[in-house]
Chain A
Amino acid sequence: MRILLVEDDIDTRTYVSSGLRAKGHAVDESGDGQDGLLRACEHDYDVIVLDRMLPALDGMSVLKKLRSCGTQARVLMLTALGDVDARIDGMEAGADDYLGKPFALSELIARLNAISRRSAHANTMTLLRLGDLELDLIMQRVFRAGKQIHLQPREWDLLKYFALHAGEIITRSMLLEHVWGFQSSPHTNLVDTHVCRLRGKIERDFGPRIIRTVRGEGYTLSLKQGH
């Protein structure tokens, strides 16, 4: 995908852009808010990675201007360590996701994938079908091989998030933020426990596993056999 990276720290910018290029993305770089805004308006990007603290024009202002000029690009905001209110502010200003610095490159890539593929009609969908797995988004019911599975509310949220991002790598912190709404990662394996229980319900009595653990990164819901 086509990515614009607006970040003033050269080291971070070079590291991130080379990492993204290595994954086959086209990356444009910008070192300040004014220039970043200009590029974002001129070109059609899929995703914009926007640092919150920038020279010339800060990230929040860039985001607001972008949203008011009607850009379709998804925006991921980067913020300083421990700035817990930044997420709420950023989301209110129209960011699609948020990531606190410092971050693992794999985390950034996973999140960029998640927001770029978030389909525009996700909110209007009523039924999600993935192989023999079927999610009734209105009645909040799950069927596998035509058989209904009873899930706890949190398990339902978890499965829905997996299903909407099928095939992508989903990190633990993404799940914590988007399913639980937590800001900081707890020391317990809250996510693992619940994913494990969800697996038990949707996989145990039915043939192949569909939620796989990706070592060092997170999980992915995949229907392809042989993985």
Chain B
Amino acid sequence: MPLGLNVHVGARMVRSAAFRLAVIQALMFALMALTLFLVSWFAARHYIENQLRQTIIDEFGEVIAHPPAQRAASIQRSLAQVPRGAYDYSLFDARRTLVVGDIREEPAVGWSTIEQHEGLRSGKDAVRRILVYGAAQDDGSTLVVGRDLASVDELDALLKRVFTWAGLAAVVLALAGGMVTARGYLRRVEAIAAAASRIAAGDLAARVSITGRGDEFDRLAVSLNSMLERIQTLVEGLRQVSNDIAHDLRTPLTHMRQRLEAAMDEATSLEGYSNACERALADVDSVLDTFAAMLRIAKVESRQQREGFTDIDLSQLLARLVDDYGPVLEDEERVLSAEIQPSVNVRGDALLLTQMFVNLLENALHHTPIGTPVTLKLVAAEQGCQVVMQDAGPGIPAQERTRVLKRFVRLDASRSTRGSGLGLALVAAVADLHDIVLTLGDAGPGLRVQLDFPHRQDA
């Protein structure tokens, strides 16, 4: 099994992008080594050959410094030296016959490279490569001076060997480095993939581990984790809402069931049945109201910001609302007073903004005792504008002010009053859509609702 696993990991590594990169890198190294070799080879060879030619020319000069008649003898002497000198000499007469020397065939005039069989030299049939320089002399003879190319060939071979090994080493190192990098990358990527599959399998709390090195993988892990955090919050929110709905609907549905049951058991007259039906209808309507409010909030929350927004005269919108609700509050023995700065414009959805203010006004109406004054104020500020609505009712305790903006939250004091506990949730959703900062505060006594509209960028 471990072998199988290794093969598996190996196959995955070979397929990995990092490994592919390593192979390409190794090829690049090989190419670089080859180029380096060619350049050095040419340079070294050129240099040595030049040196060789120079020494040949020098030796040639020495030989022709002798008078023509003594050259053959001088060559004879040089060749007879023990140990033998580095040079080869030959003198050919005008009829191209070898007079003296060890270069047996007369080469072309000038520089050339010849190959000459040396018989059985040190037991082997050797071929010598000789660089020769030949020049015709005034007496018709041709003098040839040469030097063995063995040293140059040896250098050649050495260079080739060195560069072959160096190139191979570079390729192997590059491949090994690539493997190491690939394995490291693969491990990090597999860690992310593993976290993703755990999430896919339902474990929403799974996170990608962070090494703390602060590299690109850590940064990726951090952004993935924050995304997962958000998804988890949303999913849990959704779960919470479903629970809330189920819980909130159970009460009216249970009541309705009990009433209908009681009517079947006890009602004896048409009037009794009709009353039971009427109450059941009222219960159904309250459930439907809750549903509609939920759907409205969901719709507002799912809307793209600024989608379908228009320019709205907020002053006019509020003034109309005060005209509409002033009498309603008056009938319920509360006093609505307003202070509205004229011609304040905002961008938004007029229907939703109206709904938001209606909900706030109704809140003030339903959760305050008779005779409570309610004030509404609109002022334009340097950055955006501000609406403040205040009542002198019981207010909301400081620790509850965030909670009441959530769905279905009702304070104990208001359990007996009508309402679904969704009014302020819709206010919060509309405010959020409009980038309005909603602050619930203390009016001392009473509730102070402050709405800070954003500054209009396009204005």
Contacts and interface: CB of A to CB of B under 8 A. Distances in A.
A188 B323 contact: no
Leading 5 A-B pairs by shortest Cβ distance: A82-B295, A82-B292, A193-B328, A193-B327, A193-B331
Contact of B351 (A152, A181, A189): A181
Interface of B, secondary structure class, is helix
Given A81-B288, A181-B351, A154 B324 contact: yes
A152 B323 contact: yes
B418 to A, nearest CB: 6
The number of chain B residues touching the other chain, given as a range, is: 20 to 34
B351 A187 contact: no
B351 A183 contact: yes
Contacts of A184: 292-293, 296, 355
A184 B290 CA distance: 12
Contacts of A84: 296, 299, 351
20 contacts: A81-B291, A81-B295, A82-B291, A82-B293, A82-B294, A82-B295, A82-B296, A83-B295, A83-B299, A84-B299, A84-B351, A100-B292, A102-B288, A153-B323, A181-B351, A182-B355, A184-B292, A184-B296, A186-B362, A193-B331
Interface of A: 81-85, 100, 102, 152-154, 180-184, 186-190, 193-194, 196-197
A82 B293 CA distance: 7
B291 A154 contact: no
B172 interface: no
A119 to B, nearest CB: 28
Contacts of A182: 354-355, 358
B328 A190 contact: yes
Contacts of A82: 291-296, 299
Contacts of A193: 327-328, 331
Contact of A187 (B292, B295, B354, B366): B366
B144 interface: no
Given A81-B291, A82-B291, A193-B331, 16 more contacts: A82-B292, A82-B293, A83-B299, A84-B299, A85-B299, A100-B292, A102-B288, A153-B323, A180-B324, A186-B362, A187-B362, A187-B419, A190-B324, A190-B325, A193-B328, A196-B331
B365 interface: yes
Contacts of A188: 325, 328, 332, 362, 365
Nearest to A216: B278
B355 A183 contact: yes
Contacts of B288: 81, 102
Nearest to B417: A187
A223 B120 CA distance: 145
